[in-house]
Amino acid sequence: MRDVKRVAILISGRGSNMRALVEQSDGYEVALVASNKPDAAGLEWAQARGLQTWALESKGLSKEKFDRQMSAAIEAHDAGTIALAGFMRILSPWFVAQWRGRIVNIHPSLLPKYRGLDTHARAIAAGDAVSGCSVHVVTEELDAGELLGQAEVPIEPGDTTATLEQRVLAAEHALYPKVLSEFVRR
Ligand code: GRF
């Protein structure tokens, strides 16, 4: 039975946002950490913490075939909310419809600025004084659903994409657990 306070976190890589969501969980429980990359570093960390994990290599599978299997795994763990945390794969319209209004994502820019990839390089190239991160509801349109929360971060003179990424990541780790906690209560 889907329970909105049971969260499935989807990752593809190191999973630093997933770790922040686990360590600062408040009002929700992490039911599953799932990945489309069986070697994602974050999976090992989650297993070591005693969390349930699921992984399936997505390469070579059709989008919907992968998404149907992932959806079944999420259901099997009674999760009712899905948090994307560096999940580097666009979800199929089928999956988004199946979980409509119950999927959230963190994006490293102040949306609606810089949807998609390379946000830090684009913010620096534009000469912006401020960047940040946004948590939003996932819809069929990339990085475009309802905004749930944002945090601003200054861009310092001499910032590179690496230094800006670090500063924004620290803001992501503070923002995401807070917003997810509010989202599961509403
Ligand atoms: C973060 O910058 C997040 O905003 C973006 O992908 C990156 C994931 O990093 N969606 P991590 O795997 O959480 O460390």
Atom of ligand 1 nearest to the CA of 85: 13
Residue 106, number of CB atoms within 10 A of its CB? 24
User: What residues line ligand 1, using a CB cutoff of 6 Å?
Assistant: 11, 13-17, 85-86, 106-108, 133, 172
pLDDT of residue 112: 98
Convert the pLDDT of each residue in 76-85 to its tens digit: 999 999 999 9
Catalytic residue among 77, 107, 120, 173: 107
From 169, 176, 180, give the residue whose CB has the most ligand 1 atoms within 8 Å, as the site to mutate: 169
pLDDT of residue 15: 97
Type of residue numbered 36: N
CB 141 within 8 A of CB 186: no
DSSP string, 9-54: EEESS--HHHHHHHHT--S-EEEEEEES-TT-HHHHHHHHTT--EE
Q: 134 CB contacts (<8 Å, ≥6 apart)? A: 106, 107, 109, 110, 111, 147, 149, 150
Query: Residue 135 in 3-state DSSP?
Result: strand
Q: What is the whole-number distance in angstroms between the Cα of residue 1 and the centre of ligand 1?
A: 29
Nearest CA to ligand 1 atom 12: 15
Q: Is 107 a catalytic residue?
A: yes
CB 50 within 8 A of CB 23: no
Please identify every stretch of the chain with a pLDDT value under 70, giving residue numbers as ranges: none
